[in-house]
Amino acid sequence: MLEEIRKAILEGEEELAEALVNKALEEGIPALEILNKACIPGVEKAGALFEQGDYFLPELIAAGQATKAAMNLLMPRVKGQEGEWKSIAAFVIGTVEGDVHDIGKTIVASMLSASGFDVIDLGIDVPTDKFLEVIKDRKPEFVGLSALLTSTMPKQKAVIEALKAAGLRDKLKVIVGGAPVTEGWAQKIGADGYAADAVAAVKMAKSFIS
Ligand code: B12
């Protein structure tokens, strides 16, 4: 069943992916398992094929859309699995300006929310000024900046610089992530941390609190 879902996502079969996910849920397969063992491997394989030149953009887009459709069914249940919701800290998150990738960022946001953070998800292509405006208004303990393109990684730095200029940098922790982002990049731009995946992001945020 998980293999069928992975294949449906890889082939960009949105409706089939949704039907199979519903069936898997009915059969009692945990939502997180479907996400980690079928959906993410499916979209990652699509990326690898794109990289090799075996997939073109429309196929990549279809795989991305099928993943999102599956996630819409899975995420509310992933949250439900974590028990009663209580806010540990506020966490503003978004994909930086110029970047529309949101699958990974949305997973991180959902896992944080499932773990008790009050998550304010600003979405994709978020201008630096928008991050600043929301941070001034909501005074979160954390901001998470996602970048999937090497060309948009500098926007993570731009947000940190803007926070400094506004005198807000010391008031919150900045955590960066996204496939091309590394620990070394995080240090170079003066972020407080880097996390490679959603589980590591939750662990890191919690470690800053305790
Ligand atoms: C799906 C996809 C798309 C979809 C996005 C759909 C969507 N709604 O998100 C579409 C088709 C729209 C797309 C468009 C483009 N894409 Co694209 N895309 C991908 C793909 C295949 C998968 C990304 C993904 O969702 N991965 C699965 C998730 C779960 O992983 P993740 O995003 O890395 O997130 C995890 C971690 O990184 C981390 N994380 C993520 N965010 C954050 C944030 C914080 C705070 C923390 C702590 C952690 C964290 O946790 C997540 C969960 O584990 C990647 C290939 C790849 N292997 O990454 C290419 C890829 C990122 N895309 C690429 C490119 C080039 C593009 C385009 C420029 C293509 C084009 N020519 O138009 C456009 C750019 C549009 C734009 N302006 O942003 C390149 C980037 C190359 C580079 N180094 O810059 C890649 C690497 C493909 C490739 N090999 O060429 N893409």
Q: How confident is the model at residue 84 (pLDDT cuts 50, 70, 90)?
A: very low
Residue nearest atom 61 of ligand 1, based on CA coordinates: 148
Query: What range does the domain containing 49 cover?
Result: 2-79
Q: What is the pLDDT of residues 132-172, one digit of tens each?
A: 999 999 999 999 999 999 999 999 999 999 999 999 999 99
Q: Which of 79, 110, 138 is the last residue of a domain?
A: 79
Q: What is the pLDDT of residue 109?
A: 85
Q: What is the pLDDT of residue 78?
A: 77
Residue 88 CA to residue 84 CA, distance in Å, equals 12
- In terms of pTM, does the model score above 0.75? yes
Of the residues 9, 39, 101, which should be mutated to test ligand 1's pocket, given the most ligand atoms within 8 Å of the CB? 101
72 and 135 both lie in a single domain: no
Phi-psi region of 90 (alpha: psi -120 to 50; beta: other; left: phi over 0): beta
- Give mean pLDDT, residues 70-76: 87
Residue 188 CA to residue 113 CA, distance in Å, equals 28
- Quick one: which atom of ligand 1 is closest to the CA of 145? 45
175 and 147 both lie in a single domain: yes
Contact 136, 169 (CB under 8 A): no
Q: Is the minimum distance from the CB of 102 to ligand 1 under 6 angstroms? A: yes
63 and 130 both lie in a single domain: no
Q: Is the minimum distance from the CB of 51 to ligand 1 under 6 angstroms? A: yes
Phi, psi of 193 (to 5 degrees): -165, 165
104 and 203 both lie in a single domain: yes
Q: Which of 56, 79, 102 is the last residue of a domain?
A: 79
Size of the chain, expressed as the number of residues it contains = 210
CA of 148 to the centre of ligand 1 (A): 5
CATH of the domain at 52: 1.10.1240.10
